[in-house]
Amino acid sequence: MDDHPAMITANQHAWLQVSQAPGIGCRTMLKLLSHFGNPEAVVSASRQQLREAGTPNQAIDFLHAGDTKGIQPALNWLQQPDNKLLTLSDPLYPPLLTEIHSPPPLLYVHGDPALLSQPQLAIVGSRNPTPAGLSNAREFAACLAGAGLTITSGLAVGIDGAAHQGALQRGATIAVTGTGLDRVYPARHKELAHKIAAQGLLVSEFPPGTQPKPENFPRRNRIISGLSVGTLVVEATPRSGSLITARLALEQGREVFAIPGSIHNPQARGCHALIREGAKLVESAQDIMDELGSLLGTLSATTPASSAYNAETEAGGFDPDYTKLLETMGFDPISADELITRTGLTPEAVSSMLLLLELDGHVSSVPGGYYCRTGKSDSRRAGREKV
């Protein structure tokens, strides 16, 4: 990355002026650019010309006042190392993003902008996931990043954060934010954002100083899906914002993938709805790589031998009591009392075994004192059977 501050060109200055004029949003700016050809022509246009192009009066006043106070925070931010402004006319502007409806005219980026032109997969999901959902997000992201995909998500708590963390273990990740890049939202992800800036890229269409307003996040979601060749939904409720991202991806002509879950898990219902609507059901990272196929070109056709459903490959098996407990448990939530009744094991034995199985990742606890299997032990058995 470049440690030197960027030089602000007259062209970039004009882009900032037009983009931050009151009353000019993304669609109006794209309309003005289409009408006048470039932002310098917009800035230098007469009041009459601007009115004829449908420019709001407050925007005309702003542009003709020549006051740069409104864009000063952005100018100051651009003077800091590794901060850059990409415009629609910039050769580094991501090609896939230009294909969506109303692409953002400007992107504020911090990190390595070359990643924007690399094949990306969006991984999104619930802000309140189950432990198994978090594990799936991390492991799918790590596996796919290791295969050469850049993992793109929204820096939110839950599945987004886990996806970024998993990707950083094996490759690169891009975080698209709903605020200006001079702040981190949520604040708890400050350290994660620093890691992403060092190994990947932070992106926003919002200028420095922008607060986390609710209306910003659907706009952010269209960028997440628009940058990516496909979107993977790990866990989501039927009203989740992740489903907005997935449906935007479908509208943009991109692939949508979903991980199925238990019929009793409310966090799985959004994924099941997507699958009913045509999203591709996936059980491993290899399913995604196989489906994307030729879209990925030079990427490896075979993912590393680890994913959310085949993370273990060591030989060996369980003690008979542990096998009995796991087979009794199944994948739907079940209480410890019910396990004691069904297995005939003592309460002390079941409690101890559940703790060890959870620590080893074979079992996850869910709200209400229930437990369910993660699938880890079954993938290990499947791996042995294929040998």
Each residue's pLDDT tens digit, 97-124? 999 999 999 999 999 999 999 999 999 9
pLDDT for 7 equals 65
DSSP alpha helix (H) spans, the chain = 10-19, 26-36, 39-44, 47-52, 57-65, 72-78, 95-98, 131-146, 159-170, 190-199, 216-227, 241-251, 269-276, 285-292, 320-329, 336-343, 347-359, 376-386
DSSP 8-state class, residue 279: P
Interatomic CA distance for residues 385 and 387, integer angstroms: 6
- 3 state DSSP class of 247: helix
What angle is formed at CA 127 by the lines to CA 174 and CA 266, rounded to 5 degrees?
130
The residues with which 84 forms a beta bridge, in sequence order, are 109
- 3 state DSSP class of 150: strand
Residues of the chain with pLDDT under 70: 1-7, 294-318, 375-387
The residues with which 174 forms a beta bridge, in sequence order, are 152, 201
What angle is formed at CA 111 by the lines to CA 27 and CA 179, rounded to 5 degrees?
45
The residues with which 364 forms a beta bridge, in sequence order, are 372
11 Cβ neighbours under 8 A, 6+ residues apart: 38, 39, 40, 87, 89
Interatomic CA distance for residues 8 and 77, integer angstroms: 11
Fold topology of 320-386: Arc Repressor Mutant, subunit A (1.10.10)
The domains of the chain are located at 1-80, 113-296, 320-386
**In terms of pTM, does the model score above 0.95?**
no
Return the structure tokens found at 176: 């698209």
Interatomic CA distance for residues 67 and 327, integer angstroms: 71
pLDDT for 361 equals 77
Number of C-alpha atoms within 13 angstroms, CB side, residue 182? 14
What's the burial of 319, exposed, middle or buried (CB within 10 Å: 0-12/13-18/19+)?
Answer: exposed
pLDDT for 275 equals 96
Q: What is the CATH number of domain 113-296?
A: 3.40.50.450
Torsion of CA 246, 248, 254, 256, to 10 degrees: 10
Residue type, 194: H
> Is the CA virtual torsion 304, 151, 198, 193 positive or negative?
negative
Return the structure tokens found at 230: 């496909």
pLDDT for 348 equals 83
DSSP sequence for 286-318: HHHHHHHGGGGTTS-SS--S--TT---------
pLDDT for 333 equals 83
pLDDT for 145 equals 94
Q: Checking DSSP bridges between strand 201-204 and strand 255-258, what pairing results, if any?
A: unpaired
Return the structure tokens found at 311: 């993370």
Interatomic CA distance for residues 44 and 17, integer angstroms: 11
Return the structure tokens found at 334: 């079940």
